[in-house]
Structure 1
Amino acid sequence: MASKTYEIGGVQARIANLLESYGLGVLFAANVFGAGSVYILADTGANFAFALLWVLPLAFLIDIALHDMSARLAVSREPLTDYIVDRLPGPSGQLVIISMAVMSAFWSIANYAIAGAALAWLVPGLDNVIIGILLASGVGIALVELRVYERIEGAIAAMVITVFASYGLLLIGLDIPVGDVVAGLVPALESDVGYLTAIIALLGTTVYWPNFFIQSSIGPTKEWSDVNTYRRDNAAGIITTLTIGAFVMIVSAITLTEGPTTLTGPGEPLAALLGSGALYIFLFAALLASFSSATGTLFGAGYMVPQAFGHHTRFGDTKFRATVVALIIFSAVAAFWLLANTGLTPVRMAIIMPAINGLIALPITVLALIGAVNRYRDVSRAENIAFGLVALVLLLGSITTADSLATTISGWL
């Protein structure tokens, strides 16, 4: 029997209803706006001012189109993984899915590295990034073992709100140059290596391909039969993500100086406004964002890997949890190794890992979505033209930025 609180429509009921209506969008927003996004956006604002603001509305249009396709698959109960495995010959489909699942862990590698560094900075006497990563990954495993979807939605919602609030504070008292912001919304391309790397990093961190695998598989959990319900939920999540992103980029463009971004760099404007203690607020927010993004991103792999071997997995079942936990462990070990054996720092990982995903896995996902939605749903010619333009933009983006990204990675290694 429902509790009295729910019967009278109390606060708990309203929160539950809100998460039921928009929790999936919140989950997607939390996946996107992890610590990696904070540092990519801050680095872009500091080094290119407002020049790359135009990438955010482009990302919005791409995200809307791709979420629309994956929502149609969710309503049809046709996971994207099934289409890829059925379409490719022999075991090649399974190999592609496993490779993409491992690539999705690149985000977790970066996020756990940032979380470990944040813990080492925040906790007196810790001063050890490796121990911080171990603690952060342990919390990630604990989140997975909650098992109940609504609880994870609620936890992630709190984390996203915390991050959003911290950047809302950054805007207080700033003199925003409206003309420069408007000029930054005009698309422009340059041949500069850093500029091109920043574009693919921004697209990789805002157009988050694991979310499309999650959404195409979430039908049995959400039990939504109307595509419009998904569209409303998706729009809320995407708008939240890109609004936060615009805030971070604008604040960084105004307050940060050109040069490499440091662990505390994006929080320095907050400290200037509210005092040095505000750095703790920023790093705590970055820590929470790392937990949510690192873990939530791997939910895509939690569906993908079992589905590749013919299992009709549901959110939080045994195979789902086993896959996610295995990739969390892999991410922590990989973060240990990269920090010990390369020139990559946690912040550099946060910038490079989304860029690699944007270069390789995102175009593959887009092409698969177009094929799957045409196979399982009725798609108009106008819609296919729009979807084709999205694919073209991303493919051209991959082609034009591949060399610059490789140059950036080799320079940092």
Structure 2
Amino acid sequence: MSIRNLSAVDYLAGQAQQYGLAFVMVASYFGSGSIFIASQAGVIHGYTLLWAVVGAALLGFMAQDMSARLGIHGTSLMVFVREKVGRPAAMAIALFLSIGCVAWTIGLVAAVGAGFSFLVGGAIGWQPIAVVATLAAIGVGLLNYDTVETLMIAMMLSLMVMYVIVAVPSGADLNAVALGFIPTTETFGALPMAAGLLGTTALWPNFFLESILVHEKGWTDQSDLPGARADLAIGYAVGGLTTLAILITAAALLRPMGFTQLDTFITPGKALVEVLGVWAMVLFVIGVIVAAFNSIIPIMWTPAYMIPQAAGYEVNKGDRRFTIVFVTLTGIGVFSPVFSRVLDLSVIDMAILFPTVNGIFGLPVAATLLFWAVNDRETMGEYRNSRWLNVVNASLVVLAITLGALAMQGFLDLFTGGGF
């Protein structure tokens, strides 16, 4: 190979290495919950919540931009919280938020188990596979950061391709699709679902995680911010497009077939078979498995950083404190079958309701803390939010609190009533 060609290869490799963090963030939010919430939204509400998908992706992008700036110019979000409110209060916040991460993992490993169980024709129940999935997630989560990032990039691009391929032949009504991007009075009855879409897209664990992981990419000063934003734009475009494809497919195919909700884990796949063929079902189920497994790792990295930082310790991925917290909390996923039985919730109930927990309870807290951090003069100095950014970014806090308050009763009715 010539010196010129070698230089070109090195340049391309260097460019590729610049990006990828956003795919970890998007993989974090795009789990089975995103797939089922988007499918459920399409089945119950048709195309009327397409605007919520776009809005959630934009708000997710803005929140991650704040988090990236905090990490580049200030400190990580939980360290900021500890410095401002003290260790006891910071620890209480970290533990409260970590409950949401564990709940999410319980639903995710159940979805992985149910997916594999379906692919093997029910020869193995989802419960033992969920246990294996939990252990596998622990193993992958302890790999070095670059390896995990590479896996997330490959998996997220594959998911986008799979679901767009399924959506294209769905025969969606283009006029109805266009109208779905405009909020109307019909959407007031869909606020719990909108909260779920927001909670599973503007994912609060990412607010903490990006402020830490920007340093994995070498982003440490103002000149690195355009690269971080380009990374976020690419990642959230991929995640948003994938979510739109799933919602449109459900609205175009399942709703006209008479489905009013997703009764079982495999309902969307079965319906797709009738219209598009077996290939669509296989892609759907494989996508659920990949998405669910993807999400576990970065979601559970968050408390592994957060809890030691709240206690006043410096923590790095792979050190003893990180490993103990990550393994212990992720390991609770092995009890997913127990939670399903005790709470009388199906796999699909857990896959939808547990992300909604984060949208209603975790997101308002984390969004408020993040907004505080990027406006703190002592932490951010001259790089704190501008007036325009405050107007835009404050919408995340207001929307999170409003949707959480309006959706709480509907969520509690579903949770205590045995699901959908």
Displacement of 1:348: 0.6
Alignment equivalent of 1:263, drawn from 254, 265, 269: 265
2:61 aligned partner: 64
Partner secondary structure for residue 363 of structure 2: helix
2:97 aligned partner: 100
Q: CA–CA distance in 2 between the matches of 1:13 and 1:370?
A: 37
Q: For the Cα contact (< 8 Å) 1:144–1:316, is it kept in 2? A: no
Q: CA–CA distance in 2 between the matches of 1:246 and 1:187?
A: 15
Residue 27 of structure 2 is aligned to residue 30 of structure 1: yes
Q: Which amino acid aligns with 2:206?
A: N
Alignment equivalent of 2:407, drawn from 401, 404, 407: 401
1:222 aligned partner: 217
Residue 51 of structure 2 is aligned to residue 54 of structure 1: yes
Greater shift, 351-360 or 311-320, is seen at 311-320
Pair 294,13 (structure 1): closer, same or farther in 2 beyond 3 Å: farther
Q: Which amino acid aligns with 2:225?
A: V
Q: CA–CA distance in 2 between the matches of 1:341 and 1:18?
A: 50
Matches within 5 A, 1:79-158: 79-89=76-86, 91-123=88-120, 126-146=123-143, 148-158=144-154
Residue 198 of structure 2 is aligned to residue 197 of structure 1: no
Alignment equivalent of 1:161, drawn from 135, 157, 163: 157
Greater shift, 109-118 or 211-220, is seen at 211-220
Q: CA–CA distance in 1 between the matches of 2:320 and 2:218?
A: 20
CA RMSD, aligned part only? 2.3
Pair 192,66 (structure 1): closer, same or farther in 2 beyond 3 Å: closer
Partner secondary structure for residue 315 of structure 1: coil
Partner secondary structure for residue 263 of structure 1: coil
Q: CA–CA distance in 1 between the matches of 2:284 and 2:14?
A: 30
1:308 aligned partner: 310
Displacement of 1:270: 4.5
Alignment equivalent of 1:389, drawn from 381, 384, 395: 395
1:211 aligned partner: 206
Displacement of 1:192: 6.8
Displacement of 1:260: 2.7
Note the residue ranges of structure 2 that are not aligned, 5 or more in a row. Answer: none
Matches within 5 A, 1:264-413: 264-268=266-270, 270-272=272-274, 275-333=277-335, 335-375=336-376, 376-377=379-380, 378-412=384-418
Displacement of 1:157: 1.8
Q: CA–CA distance in 1 between the matches of 2:390 and 2:142?
A: 40
2:250 aligned partner: 252
Displacement of 1:332: 2.5
Q: For the Cα contact (< 8 Å) 2:87–2:312, is it kept in 1? A: no
Matches within 5 A, 1:3-18: 7=6, 9-10=8-9, 14=12, 16-17=13-14
Q: CA–CA distance in 1 between the matches of 2:86 and 2:116?
A: 46
What is the TM-score when the length of structure 2 is the normalising length? 0.90
Q: CA–CA distance in 2 between the matches of 1:192 and 1:229?
A: 38
Partner secondary structure for residue 412 of structure 1: coil
Greater shift, 396-405 or 42-51, is seen at 396-405
Displacement of 1:212: 1.1
Displacement of 1:215: 0.5
Q: Which amino acid aligns with 1:394?
A: A
Q: For the Cα contact (< 8 Å) 1:19–1:150, is it kept in 2? A: no
How far does the alpha carbon of each residue in 1:273-295 deviate from its partner, in whole angstroms, 9 at most, with x for none? 65325433322221111111112
Displacement of 1:197: 1.5
Q: CA–CA distance in 1 between the matches of 2:20 and 2:86?
A: 37
Q: CA–CA distance in 2 between the matches of 1:278 and 1:162?
A: 14
